[in-house]
Structures are given as C-alpha cells and as structure tokens.
Structure 1
Amino acid sequence: MQAFLEPQNLILVGVILTLLIFSGFFSSSETALTAASRVRMHAAEKDGDKRASIVQRLMNMRERLLGGILLGNNLVNILASVLTTTLFTNIFGGSAAALAAATAVMTALILIFAEVLPKTYAISQPDKLALIVARPINLIVKLLSPIVSVVQIIVNGVLRVFGIDTNASAWTAADEIKGAVDLHLQEGGVAKRARDQIYGVLEIGEMSIEEVMTHRRNVAMIDADAPPDQIIKEFIASGHSRIPVYRGDSDNVIGVLHMKDLLKAVTRTNGSVETLDIKKISRDAWFVPETTSAVKQLRAFQQKREHFALVVDEYGSLMGVISLEDILEEIVGDIQDEYDEELAGVTRLKEGGATVRGDVAIRDLNRAMDWKLPDDEGPVTVAGLVIHESQTIPNAGQVFAYHGYRFEILKKQRNQIQSLKIKKTFEPDMRSEQN
C-alpha cells in the first residue's frame, strides 16, 4: 500500500485513468459517427447547425474518419497498457504474476469502461453524440491525416492483392431507403401498398417506356377503311377512350380516335353513322421512341397536355402504346375502374401460386403476389424471363425452376408462351422435360 501511494505511482494512476477516458471518447465517437442518421444530419444542416455539416463531411470520408479514430484509440490503449505494466512493476516487482495481473486488470478496464460502456451509450443516442464530438474528432482526424493516409495506402494495396476494390459500393441511397421500408413493412409500420408506391418513385427514374408500355400484340386498333358502324362496335368493345387508327397496314397509323370526338361527330349527324369520316375526326398521332425514359415521357405528357402516345422502334415500326395512366400506375399501383380486372392475366390458386398469362409484366406480378422475381434489367414479361433463363422456347408441359420459383408451361401458341403456372419453391434452379 505504501508503494502505491508514492507520488510517481499516483501520477501513473491519474495518467492511466485519463487515457481510459480518451479511449472511451474514441470508442463512443466511432459508434456515434457511423450509426448517426444521414437524413437527420441533413435536416439539422439545413436548419443551420454547423456541427451537422461537420458530421456530414466526416461521414463522407469514412475511411479517413475510421483511420483517425482507430489510430488515436490504439495509441491511448497501448500507452495505458504500458503504463499499467510499469505501475504494477513498481508495486509488485517485475514478476510474471505482476505482468499477468497488469494484463488482466487493463483488459477488464478497457473492455468495460473504454469499449462496452461508451459504445452502449453511443448506440442509444448516436445523433446527439455525433453532434457533440464532431468538432474535436474533426480536429483529431486533420492532425493524424498524414499518418492515416500512409496507413490507407498500405491497407488498400494489401486488399488489391486479394482482388478487393474498396471504392466499389454495391448499395445506393435508394437501396438504403428500400431496405428501411422493407424493415418497417415487416414490423407493421408500413402498409404493402405504401411500400410499393415508395418503390415506384425510386425506380421510375431507371425505367424506359418500353418497360411500361402496352405491347402492340395487346393494343386494340381500328381500320380506317372499315364501315363506320363496325368501327363504333369495335371501339365500344375495346373498353378504351382512345384507340389508334391505321390504314392498310397496322404500322401505318394515321391518327388516334378519341371517344369524345366520336360521340360529338355522331351527335352532329343526329345519330347517322354512314357519313362519318373517321380520318377527319381522328387526332394526329404522337410517336415517341422506345428508348425514351418513363420520367421524360411523363414530363412530356404534362407539357403537351396529352395522355396517349404511340411507341416506335428505331426502324419506325409500331412497338406499342404508352399512356399517362401506364406511367402513374408504376408509382401509385393499378388505377382500376369498373371495367378493369384486379390484374389482367393473373389468377390466384387455392393451393398457392397463380396461373399467369405470358405477357404479364414481372413488376406487376411482383406487386400483385408480393413476389421477388428479378425485374431490374433484362426481360420485362414473365414469358420473357423463362425464355431468357432457359435459353430456349419451351413447350407446353415443361417445368423450370429459377430464382426460387417453379414455372410450368401450360399453353404455347407458335413461339409464344400463352400461360404459365408459377409458385414459390425451394428447388434449385433446373430445367425438366415434359411432365
């Protein structure tokens, strides 16, 4: 006890405790600055909090931030361990037992008071603590910047030897938002429809109208040379308010007939349809290239005050039609009226899964069934997905398993898959012959 109370040993105790406080500061700062919410920091920065600006800057240079904190933390921990060993040597001599005791005591102190305690506190309120430590950590990172830069060069060099690119980031801000929304959906904090709408807003900027349009195979069209009464019957049977008009060949679209214009023309002739000139009452067709982005087309609809356009490929051939409703449905989900089905071409099965028409869009099927079939790039329709994965045009009765789902071809006409039966499965990806 007398040896412990000697001035030099008391000074060592004070220095060790100070170093433990610094170690706790570094540990809590690391947790706070990595766990702080970017969204809340951005909001605080907009409100004029300069500390939030520093936090944002530190979070944007994460490698340098972690390098500076870890360097400072290791320096104080190592120094504290050395001084503790010196303290125990002064008190108990340089025996192995004294060194073991110093190691045990220092390990317990660092673990409890310099790691677990400060990090537990930091994780409970990371935003508040991040703002508090922003300025001192920013200063420390600047002071240690030369050493950290050398360390980073060495670390990046070693990682490159193993083929690891530290600059590659697989996650974007959109991915983080999707992950948060999915988590809240599982916890019951977000409805599925709201989740789908948020997804739609995030994904619409990456989509082209080719992914959204109604394919020409499903587009109702009117022959301008057909008898007027037949045209009216076909128009009413289509269930649409706008319909393309062609002459001779379906690629030769000469206009778009609007139901309001047709009704006005019939009213002017007192119900007589024999004298109707369909070409005269049709509006000019608006052609857009298939590569146009969905967002750009949405803005074009708003500026031109039009709701309907025809999509053509690079050769001028008709690919399909795009409407304002088609694009809005990608954001808000299906906009149904009394003539719409819940999801045309999809029938739920009691035993699970669904029978699906081949031309149903993968995105629409995922929303309707809450499935996760790949729809980011590549095929747009369910039939296209099966053909893409199997690298063949399958026959009726064939069964495939891809991405955790089982696809059974129910009907095929020529080279087109008409319908499939799809359900979730735990089978590995495979292709089978006829059932």
Structure 2
Amino acid sequence: MGTQLVVVALAIIFSAFFSGVEIAFLSSNKLRFELERKHGRLTSRILDIFYRNKEQFIATMLVGNNITLVIYGIVTANILTPLLKGIEEFPTLLLLIQTLIATAVILLTGEFLPKSIFRQYSNSLMNFFAFPILLFYVIFYPISKFITWLSYWILRIAFRLKINRAHDNKIFGKVDLDHLVEQAASADEKSEEQELKIFQKALDFSEVRIRDCMIPRTDIEAVDINDTIDNLKKVFVETMYSRLPVYKDSIDNIIGYVNSKSLFLNPKSIKDHLIDIEFFPETMKANEALTHFIKGHKSIAVVVDEFGGTAGLVTIEDIIEEIFGEIDDEHDRNDLVEKKLSDTEYILSARVEVSHINEVYGLEIPESDEYETIAGFILHHHQSIPKPGDIVNIDMYEFKILKTNKTRIELVRLTINR
C-alpha cells in the first residue's frame, strides 16, 4: 500500500508538471525569451528549441502526461478496490466510483491548480524548469515524433487534408508586445518609464482616430481668400504660425493654405500663393493619415465631419505627438494655463486634456471616449455651458468657472475634496 501511494503521489506530481508546462508554453511571451536569448541566457536558448518545434513540443508533453495518467489510473484502481469491498458484486458501480474519485483528484491536483499557477507565472516557470523539460523532451521525443508523423499521415491519406507544416516561430504578435510592456511596467524601473510610454503608445497607435489628435474647429486660425496681404502678415505675426488655412466665405469652406515663406516673394494677393490642402474624415485612423502625409509630401490637412463641415485641423506633428508626446512647434499654443496652487487646488485652461492632467499631477479624473478635455468633462456631466462664478461638482472634483465665452469654457479652478 505504501509503495502504491508513493507511485500515485509521483504520478500526480508529474501530471501536474506536464499539464502546467503545456499551458505555460502556450501562454508565455515568446518575445521576452527571444530578447533574453540574444543576451546569451542559457535557459532561453533551450526554450528557443521548443518554440522552433511547437507541435513536437506539445506532442511530447501530451505523451508524458498520458503515460503518467495511465500509471495513475492503474495504481489508483488497485488502491481503491480493497477499500470498496462492499460493492465488489457490482463491478459497474465499482468502476464508476473508482473513476469519479480518481478523476476528481487528478483534475484538481493535476490539472486545475497547476495550470492556474503555471499560466500566472508562465515565463518564470518555463525558465526555472528549462532543464527538466529538456530531459523529458529528449526521452519522449521518439514516441512523440512517431505519433506526430502518424497523425499527419492519417489526415493526409484518410481525410485528404493538406497540412501546412511551415514554421512561423519567429513571428511575434501584438499580444506578445503588449505582454512585454506590461511585464516591464510592473518592474517599476523609472529609468525606462518614458520608453515604456512610447512603446505602449506605439502599440495603441493603430486605434487612434484623427479626431483624437486634431486641432478643434474653435481653435483654428485662418484667413479669408479676399483678405489683404497686410492682414495676412498681421495674422502670421500674431499667431507665429508658418502655415495658415485659407477659406472662402466661411470656415466650412477651406480651399487651401498659405506658407509664411511666400511673403518674401511680395505677393499681390493671397490667391497668388495658395497651396492645395488635404481633407481627411474625422473617423480616419491616424496611422493611415500619417502614411498619406508621408507619401504625398504634405504636412497639414482639414478634418471634416460626416456633414462635410470643418471639424478641425491636423498636422503631421499632431499625429507624431500621439506616440512621442508633445513636440514644440509653431502650432502648439502656449496660452494653456496649468498652475498648481496646492495638492488639492489647480488653475487650469479648460482645453487641457484630462489624460495630460492625470499623468502630470497624478490625478484620477475619469477618462472617456465621450470627451478629451477638462471642458469636455464638465460639459459631459453639466450638459450646458456654465457662467463665470458657477461651481460644478462632479464626484470629488469641484470646478469653479473663472472664464467663458459664448461657446466654450476657457478657465477653471479645480478643487479636490478628498
């Protein structure tokens, strides 16, 4: 009995090992191992062998697990039979009870628990068990190789299926990159904080829309096609921009833009140096717009809404900032106020983005796809433009409206009531 219990215990341990390694292999981050391998880590070089032969590795683990389960089933039956003497006359019932007990034990200790643990710490445990895994891989390789060959032969001959066995082990997906960033972020290495932010923004860049990075319609500085050159010069000086959109009759009819360099050619009218401008729908993805800018050698475009009206303006700098953060150029407005009075009080321009405030000052103002700025956050909850002096309370955030105009909130005082 004692020897049989030891065999059962070992069978459970090995079953847990093979099951855990299988799930760890499938859920681990290949990119992390590849980076470690290139740095010369021995265990990662061993694991690279497995990733180059995925099907063979999985088959080997299954062979090991099945051999273990067969031994476990035989020995467990021998242990349980004497303990169930009262029902020996009912072999079917005896078999059913033995099966239920053995299955419950192996599912809990050899499947559910180890798979949960190995999935949670997949990379660490794969590195830790690299040498034992290699040992079993070599031992069971001939059996698993034959079974794999036989399986493909049956699929090809009996079912007439064409199996593509081309290896794609060096292809890393977005999931691997996401996982790598999360692991690096959890390490809390301050020296890599900025690089991680850029990496994460690059991963999320494919989901960014033009409307997320455009200059809103209300902030567009533009000139009429019939304006004088003197007025054009004045606007260039006041805004310090190098490019200005040009419209005809209204801002919804932008027909091009002018470059400040053209003023050196002494133009007689704005029409003389009008440059064609691109038009992007606000739902267009930022990466597509960036590609369009680069291929067309353009740097500025009008963003239009679903009705064809002007929703905003976007430049190549605005799009690049979505990855690398703020870039100081002539289109960045320096009149946005951010003043910290204390840990709980701030004076803020309402056009400052909520995500920026949260990141810089460590606040937790709720973010949403419904708004981007402080003004948007207030209007989302207040549903109307408050007047100067009004106080808007949203959860623990108290906004005192300091300055507005007819169409928007401009300046607020934020007090946090913790």
Q: What interval of TM-score do these two structures reach, taking the shorter chain for normalisation?
A: 0.5 to 0.7
Superposed, 1:157-176 pairs within 5 Å as 176=179
List aligned pairs for 1:383-402, cutoff 5 A.
383-391=375-383, 393-395=385-387, 396-402=389-395
The answer as to whether partners of 1:29 and 1:122 remain within 8 angstroms in 2 is no
Partners of 1:48 and 1:125 in 2: CA distance:
11
Tell whether 2:19 aligns with 1:17. no
How far does the alpha carbon of each residue in 1:202-243 deviate from its partner, in whole angstroms, 9 at most, with x for none? Answer: 221111101110011111111232221221021121121111
Q: Does 1:125 align with 2:117?
A: no
Deviation string 1:252-294 (CA, Å, 9 cap, x unpaired) is 222201122223x13xxxxxxxx62211112112211111111
Q: Distance in 2 between matches of 1:243 and 1:233?
A: 12
Q: Per-residue deviation at 1:399?
A: 3.2
Kindly indicate whether residue 247 of structure 2 is the aligned counterpart of residue 256 of structure 1: no
Contact 1:55 1:130 survives alignment (8 Å): no
| Distance across 2 between alignment mates of 1:391 and 1:197 | 35
Amino acid at match of 1:190: E
For the Cα contact (< 8 Å) 1:41–1:127, is it kept in 2? Answer: no
Q: Is the 8 A contact 2:8 2:76 kept in 1?
A: no
The amino acid that maps onto 2:128 is Q
Which residue of the other structure, out of 154, 176, 183, is the alignment partner of 2:186?
A: 183
CA deviation after TM superposition for structure 1 residue 75, in Å: 7.7
Measured in 2, the distance between the counterparts of 1:375 and 1:20 equals 52
After TM superposition, give the deviation of residue 348 of structure 1 in Å.
3.0
Structure 1 distance, partners of 2:280, 2:331, is: 28
Structure 1: any 5+ residue segments left out of the alignment?
Answer: 1-8, 60-64, 90-106, 144-170, 267-274, 427-435
Report the alpha carbon displacement of residue 74 of structure 1 after superposing the two structures with TM. Answer: 8.0
* Corresponding residue of 2:289: 297
Which secondary structure state, in structure 2, belongs to the residue aligned with residue 400 of structure 1? strand
Q: 1:410 aligns with which of 388, 401, 414?
A: 401
Distance change in 2, residues 1:131/1:384 (3 Å): farther
State the SS of the aligned residue for 1:179: helix
Give the CA deviation at 1:392: 5.0
Give the Cα separation in 2 of the matches to 1:58 and 1:385.
52
CA RMSD between the two structures? 4.7
Structure 1 residues 220 and 332: CA distance shift in structure 2, 3 A: same
Identity within the alignment, %: 20
Q: Which moved more, 1:341-350 or 1:409-418?
A: 341-350
User: How much has 1:336 moved relative to structure 2?
Assistant: 1.7
* Alpha-carbon distance in structure 1 between the residues aligned to 2:314 and 2:20: 49
Corresponding residue for residue 300 of structure 2: 308
The alignment's TM-score, normalised by the length of structure 1, stands at 0.64
In 1, the alpha carbon distance for the partners of 2:382 and 2:75 equals 63
Alignment of 1:20-419 (within 5 A): 20-36=9-25, 37-40=28-31, 43=34, 51-52=50-51, 122=125, 125=128, 176-184=179-187, 186-188=188-190, 190-191=192-193, 193-263=194-264, 265-266=265-266, 276-337=268-329, 344-352=336-344, 354-375=346-367, 377-391=369-383, 393-395=385-387, 396-402=389-395, 406-411=397-402, 412-414=404-406, 416-419=408-411
Alpha-carbon distance between aligned partners in 2 of 1:391 and 1:74, rounded to the nearest angstrom: 64
Do 1:409 and 1:417's aligned partners in 2 also have CA atoms closer than 8 Å?
no
Question: Is 197-206 or 125-134 further displaced after alignment?
Answer: 125-134
Residue 212 of structure 1 contacts residue 327 of structure 1 at CA under 8 Å; is this kept in 2?
yes
Amino acid at match of 1:378: E
Q: Whole-Å Cα distance in 2 between the matches of residues 35 and 132 of structure 1?
A: 17
1:227 and 1:70 map into 2 onto residues whose CA distance is 84
Alpha-carbon distance in structure 1 between the residues aligned to 2:32 and 2:135: 13
1:206 and 1:173 mapped to 2: Cα distance? 17
| Counterpart AA for 2:50 | R
Measured at CA, do residues 20 and 297 of structure 1 come closer, stay the same or move farther in structure 2, by a change above 3 Å?
same
Aligned mates of 2:47, 2:20 — CA distance in 1? 24
- Aligned equivalents of 1:126, 1:425: Cα separation in 2: 51
1:26 positional shift: 2.1
The CA deviation string for residues 279-323 of structure 1, in whole angstroms up to 9 with x for no partner, is 111211221111111111011011101111111112221111100
| 3-state SS, counterpart of residue 421 of structure 1 | strand
Helix, strand or coil at the partner of 2:196: helix
Q: 1:388 to 1:227 in 2, by over 3 A?
A: same
How many residues of Structure 1 are paired with residues of Structure 2 in the alignment?
346
Q: Structure 2: how far apart are the matches of 1:298 and 1:419?
A: 33
1:122-168 Cα distance to aligned partner (Å, 9 max, x none):
476156666666796996xx99xxxxxxxxxxxxxxxxxxxxxxxxx
Q: In the superposition, relative to structure 1, how do residues 326 and 40 fare at CA in structure 2: closer, same or farther (>3 Å)? A: closer
Distance 1:249 1:399, change over 3 A: closer
